[in-house]
Structure 1
Amino acid sequence: MPDDTAFGRGQLNRRGMLRLGAAASVGLALGVPLLGACSVDDGTGTSGEGEPIGDGLTEKQDLQPFDFDGEAGEVPDLPKRIAWANTSDAEFFLQITRSIEAAATARGLEFITAIANDDSARNIEQIETFLQRGIGALCIQPLDANAQAPVMKRAIEAGAAVFSLVTPPSTSQVVADQYQVGNVQGLAAAKYITEQLGGQANVVYFNTDTIEVLKARHQGGLDGLATAGAGVNIVADVQPEALTQDGGFNAMNTILQANPDVDVVVGGDTYCLGALAALEAAGKARPDMYLSGIDGDEQALAAIREGGAYKASFAFAYPLMGYAWGQFAADWLEGKPVPQVMQFNAIELNSAETIDAYQADMAAVAETWTAAEKYFTMLGSIRYQERDQFINYAA
């Protein structure tokens, strides 16, 4: 999904898209299939052609909490095979790969995947190959929503469950409430300003308003900061020129020229890590400052452990998401319901203890799955026989 990204500068655009909730295009390269659990087709594949099922749900729905014990219905006659149309070999995506595969193995499903290396045309070709072979579920984070929507709908029409990160059409869509994410971050900063800075603070906010969905995050952050009262002085509310740590570094250098006394910096981890580097280079970093980002970037977590100016990062449980996809794929193939929406709960990581707990949970997703509600709010319900009720809007 972008401002809150990480796992390194080179992964920024793609990784940011995932959590920021937008689609972007990046560089082109050839991808190669990997991790096929079985190299021999069992003959149950289909061409991916199915009966037309209409346009699905095109307007936002008021969905009820998902019931894990919902009644099973019609069992689809589909291959017990789950495909992951991966976009990149970045470690972040490979963590998702390993989690999907672990769940698939646990539930007796064949797992296949291919990497498109940020080439949407290549990604579509790979999905076409999956459909020709025959699949019961498709996991995807679309690179080009408009180009990939038709093939995603074809998978749904063929009966497969389509698990999508952010972008419709999909049987089950993973999203984040961007206003809430920003608001939680802003409220945490306001609490620090009130309790540690005497209610007075010069604040820098890094936004990413060129990503439409992130405007809500921006507003949520500002509303949260405002709860600290009149002593909050937002000296800069800007979008750096590049979605990289260098972009954050350069923007912070410019801000410091006009406002040398900054107390609080909030935004995405990538921007804020760059800002921290600029503050350190200028001799302006102080232990009593408050910097916080979004995404759970490994560099940000390391900075938090050091106990300096970087105080918090708000993370999302992507490895657990992959495990959930594998589990729900198996449920779909047994006629059981799956949630129409999986909404991330942003987890505040503000100490070595909270980071240790989070990382332990993400390293043991099979065990963490039993307490998935800590990391996700699951809404709606859909079974194979109700596949025409797929989500066809940005949830």
Structure 2
Amino acid sequence: MRQLLPITALLLATNVASSAEGSPGITVPTSLQPFVPTAPRCSKPADLKPILAFAKDNKREFIEGVDHGLAQAAKDNHLEYRVALAANDSAKMISDVEALRTERVGGIVVSPVDPAALAPSLQKAMWSGTYVSTVVAPPATSLLNAPQYLTGKELGDAAVAYIKDKFDGRADVVLLTQDSLQFLTPRFVAIRDALDTLPDVRIVADISPNPVSKEGGLATMRMVIQAHPHVDVVLGADGVVLGALQALREAGKDRPDQFIGGIDGEPEAIAEITKGGPYKMTVSLNSPVFGYAMGQHAADWLEGKPIPQAMDILPHVITAQNLGDYQKDVANPGAVYADPARRDAYLRMYGNICYDSRDQYLNFPWSSEAQ
């Protein structure tokens, strides 16, 4: 029997590899257990080049942070690093991914322009053995997401604590939403749930700016001020909230005791927090840290190591008090990843997958909050 074991293992590996070709992946929503890094190793992918590529939709600050983390991980793991910029062109992104697959690139990270249109190309890359990681949208060998309700809850709870402390539980609030983007709606459900705990809080405007940008926030807040010139609290994504702050300043309605808070950790928001005034906090999803994690997982994949099927980006509250530590982490994400305590403050990992089980990729919109 001992002589048969290596042959049995070889046959098993062959069967798994062949079943991966054309596999639809896991299409039914499934709960994932915590990632087990000590799980047995797998085969190393054959004939893949030690190249990590980032197919990115555009150059917004959040995505540039992912780029920074990936580049550092590639350098630390002796992988060639490439960037393919689609500039919001879905057809170009598909062409870029197909070219990377044809070249047998070992790892591809994607921030999709059009997830549905790109999905067949990503599946073909995974069938060929390439590591594929995506920001939010399936399919992916390892899928990245943010617990959206928790993200909104961090901002909502902070606003409630401030209202209790500074305004004796009474405040007029403007909520600038992104409810047109379905996957972000839990953020604003959480904020409303938090505000509902204070009976004397009045939401004077609950509206989604169009466009969802600084310009949209500026235009929307100008209209709100006409009807409600007294505002104590403004909440939403950093981009639109920064526009709202500009409108308040133009109208002479900004005050140092206001609570203006956002989500995304944008540099301009951080600059406002640094100089003091009404902008009190932002909730950041530290993109350099999770970018580094995806790059490290690509390197582990090529070595036959197990990697997580999914990762949560944990929301991180940035205030004037902890800004310095946060900026150090952004600058050196590799050091954060190497320190389990610091890494666990930003990331949570779920499920196990490796080259031999690559047909078990996620092909549904996974979220830990749905488990």
Match of 1:312 in 2: 281
Q: SS in structure 2 opposite 1:68?
A: coil
Distance (Å, rounded) in 2 between the aligned partners of 1:350 and 1:216: 23
Q: How far apart are the structure 2 equivalents of 1:95 and 1:252?
A: 29
Q: Give matches, 1:152-167, under 5 Å.
A: 152-167=122-137
The whole-number CA distance in structure 2 between the counterparts of 1:392 and 1:225 is 35
Local SS of the residue matching 2:54? strand
Counterparts of 1:113 and 1:217, CA distance in 2: 31
Decide whether aligned partners of structure 1 residues 376 and 284 sit closer, same or farther in structure 2, where only a CA change above 3 A counts: same
TM-score by length of 2: 0.89
Question: 1:50: how far off?
Answer: 9.6
8 A contact 1:50–1:154 mirrored in 2: no
Structure 2 distance, partners of 1:119, 1:334, is 33
The structure with the largest helix share of the pair is 2
Matching residue within 301, 308, 328 for 1:339:
308
Letter in structure 1 aligned against 2:278? A
Give the alignment's Cα RMSD to 1 decimal.
1.6
Q: Secondary structure at the match of 2:322?
A: helix
Give the length in aligned residue pairs.
345
Q: Where do 1:340-379 residues align within 5 Å?
A: 340-351=309-320, 353-370=321-338, 371-379=342-350
* Percent of aligned pairs sharing the same letter: 37
Match of 2:170 among 186, 191, 200: 200
Q: Distance in 2 between matches of 1:212 and 1:131?
A: 31
Offset, 1:179: 1.2
Asked if 1:381 corresponds to 2:349, the answer is no
User: Offset of 1:95 from its aligned partner?
Assistant: 3.7
Displacement of 1:51: 5.3
Please state how far the C-alpha of 1:258 moved relative to its aligned partner: 1.4
Instruction: Indicate conservation of the 8 Å contact 2:104/2:130, yes or no.
Output: no
Question: Pick from 189, 203, 217: which aligns with 1:219?
Answer: 189
Cα offset, 1:70, TM superposition: 2.5
Give distance in 2, aligned partners of 1:83 and 1:149. Answer: 17
> Given the superposition, is the C-alpha separation of residues 162 and 183 from structure 1 closer, same or farther in structure 2, using an over 3 Å criterion?
same
Contact 2:57 / 2:86 at 8 angstroms: preserved in 1? yes
Deviations 1:7-66 (A, max 9, x none): xxxxxxxxxxxxxxxxxxxxxxxxxxxxxxxxxxxxxxxxxx995242111122211111
Instruction: Tell me if structure 1 keeps the 8 A contact 2:56–2:112.
Output: no
User: C-alpha displacement at 1:68, in angstroms?
Assistant: 2.6
The residue aligned with 1:280 is 249
1:54-203 superposed matches below 5 A: 54-77=23-46, 78-90=48-60, 92-203=62-173
Distance 2:131 2:19 in 1: 13
Letter in 1 for 2:355: Y
Q: CA deviation at 1:334?
A: 1.3
**Secondary structure, in 3 states, of the residue corresponding to 2:308?**
coil
- Note the alpha carbon deviations across 1:185-241, whole angstroms, 9 max, x for none: 1111001111111000011111111111122111111012222x2111111101112
The amino acid of 2:67's aligned partner reads: T
1:237-271 Cα offsets, whole Å, 9 max, x none, are 01112122121111111111111111111011111
Displacement of 1:71 after TM fit?
A: 2.2
One-letter code of the match for 2:138?
Answer: P
Q: How far did residue 92 of structure 1 move? A: 4.3
In structure 1, give the amino acid aligned to 2:254: A
One-letter code of the match for 1:64?
Answer: Q
- Mark the structure with the bigger radius of gyration: 2
Report which stretch shifted further, 155-164 or 69-78: 69-78
Report the residue type matching 1:70 in the other structure: A
Distance 2:167 2:298 in 1: 49
Q: 1:99: how far off?
A: 2.3
Please list every run of 5 or more consecutive structure 1 residues that lacks an aligned counterpart in the other structure.
Answer: 1-48
Q: Deviations over 1:263-320 (max 9, x none)?
A: 1110111111111111111111111110100000111111111221111100011111
Residues in 2 aligned to 1:260 and 1:115: alpha-carbon distance in whole angstroms: 43
- 1:21 match: none
Which amino acid letter does the alignment assign opposite residue 198 of structure 1? D
- Higher mean displacement: 63-72 or 299-308: 63-72
Q: Name the amino acid aligned to 2:358.
A: R
The answer as to whether partners of 1:50 and 1:157 remain within 8 angstroms in 2 is: no
Question: Which segments of 5 or more consecutive residues in structure 2 lack a partner in the other structure?
Answer: 1-17, 367-371
**What is the distance in 1 between the residues matched to 2:19 and 2:78?**
25
The 3 A distance-change label for structure 1 pair 50 and 359 is farther
Q: CA shift at 1:355, angstroms?
A: 1.5
Q: SS of 1:146's equivalent?
A: helix
Determine the structure 2 residue equivalent to 1:294.
263
SS state at 2:349 partner = strand
